[in-house]
């Protein structure tokens, strides 16, 4: 069936039925399914909890205060020294990205290896059939890029993106920020469209896609409401394509294209696109 057919909202159940009727859907017995679901969703819960509470600047402040106290220095000494550095704000996003790597990749890796006892690389890391489904990814990203163009005229969009407010200071700032930003998206894509759906599919079949969509929507709640609303269908279609392509790379490229275009659109609208490589 064509990509257009599978991405048509009227045919979502047909696409999911096709996934259900293809191995490895429902290949575990009841006891195995119970344990597979338990370890997967326990990992999802712990990972999201860790990321939510440790990725913010307040957690970094507490960590730096601990280092200062441990060294017998005033509590705010290390933080004060770092705040004088011109890349302190970028350091804050290094901390932010670090916890996404821990929560979205490292913890699932431990569960995959020691509890699910399956291959980490086969959880979507291989390119597999991504090229065969390129039309599906293009159909998915095209209207979103048009939407990005339209909302780029809104003041709230310009205030929100890019997250790193010094991205327009230099090309180095912009490139360094985008690398950190895209690493976060790669980790996110693996967590939701690699780990979750592939770990759950042998136990619950195509329902793994629906289960994945719930926490995926919820991580978008702090963002602008149009982005959070779009995450519902976006997550669903990416989940279907990830299972059919057996890869996370198409979804990552879609995310990367959208994320970079939003930042560039905002910088262009504000006249803040960098003019020099170094600050």
pLDDT tens, 157-209? Answer: 899 899 999 999 999 999 999 999 999 999 999 999 999 999 999 999 999 99
* Tokens, residue 39: 């370890």
Q: What Cα–Cα distance (Å) separates residue 240 from each residue in 7, 73, 83, 204, 271?
A: 9, 53, 45, 14, 39
| Cα-trace Rg, the chain | 21
Does the pLDDT at position 30 exceed 90? yes
The CA distance from 192 to 21, in Å, is: 22
Residue with tokens 């930042």: 263
Cβ-based neighbours of 197, under 8 Å, separated by 6 or more: 208, 209, 212, 239, 242, 243
Residue with tokens 């600047």: 57
| Neighbouring C-beta atoms of residue 163, cutoff 10 Å | 13
Q: What Cα–Cα distance (Å) separates residue 206 from each residue in 17, 19, 113, 198, 212?
A: 7, 6, 23, 10, 10
- The percent of residues above 70 in pLDDT, for the chain, comes to 96
Does the pLDDT at position 5 exceed 70? no
In angstroms, how far apart are the furthest CA atoms of the chain? 66
The CA distance from 90 to 242, in Å, is: 32
pLDDT tens, 140-162? Answer: 899 889 988 998 999 988 998 99
60 pLDDT tier (thresholds 50, 70, 90): very high
Q: Are 188 and 104 in contact (CB under 8 A)?
A: yes
The CA distance from 212 to 215, in Å, is: 6
């Amino acid at each position: 069936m064509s990509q257009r057919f599978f991405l048509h909202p009227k045919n979502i159940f047909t696409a999911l039925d096709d996934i259900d009727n293809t191995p490895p859907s429902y290949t575990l017995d009841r006891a195995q399914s119970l344990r597979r679901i338990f370890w997967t969703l326990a990992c999802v819960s712990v990972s999201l909890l860790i990321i939510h509470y440790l990725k913010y600047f307040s957690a970094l402040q507490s960590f730096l205060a601990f280092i200062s106290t441990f060294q017998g220095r005033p509590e705010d000494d290390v933080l004060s020294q770092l705040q004088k550095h011109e890349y302190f704000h970028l350091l804050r996003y290094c901390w932010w990205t670090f916890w996404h790597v821990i929560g979205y990749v490292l913890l699932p890796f431990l569960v995959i290896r020691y509890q699910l006892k399956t291959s980490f690389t086969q959880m979507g890391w291989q390119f597999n059939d991504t090229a065969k489904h390129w039309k599906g990814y293009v159909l998915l990203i095209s209207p979103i890029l048009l939407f990005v163009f339209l909302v780029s005229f809104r003041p709230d969009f310009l205030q929100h993106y890019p997250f790193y407010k010094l991205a327009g200071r230099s090309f180095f700032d912009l490139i360094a920020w985008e690398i950190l930003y895209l690493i976060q998206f790669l980790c996110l894509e693996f967590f939701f469209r690699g780990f979750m759906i592939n770990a759950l599919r042998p136990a619950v079949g195509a329902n793994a896609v629906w289960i994945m969509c719930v926490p995926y929507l919820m991580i978008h709640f702090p963002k602008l409401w149009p982005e959070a609303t779009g995450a519902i269908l976006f997550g669903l279609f990416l989940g279907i394509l990830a299972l059919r392509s057996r890869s996370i790379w198409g979804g990552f490229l879609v995310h990367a294209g959208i994320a970079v275009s939003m930042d560039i659109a905002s910088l262009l609208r504000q006249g803040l696109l960098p003019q020099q490589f170094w600050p």
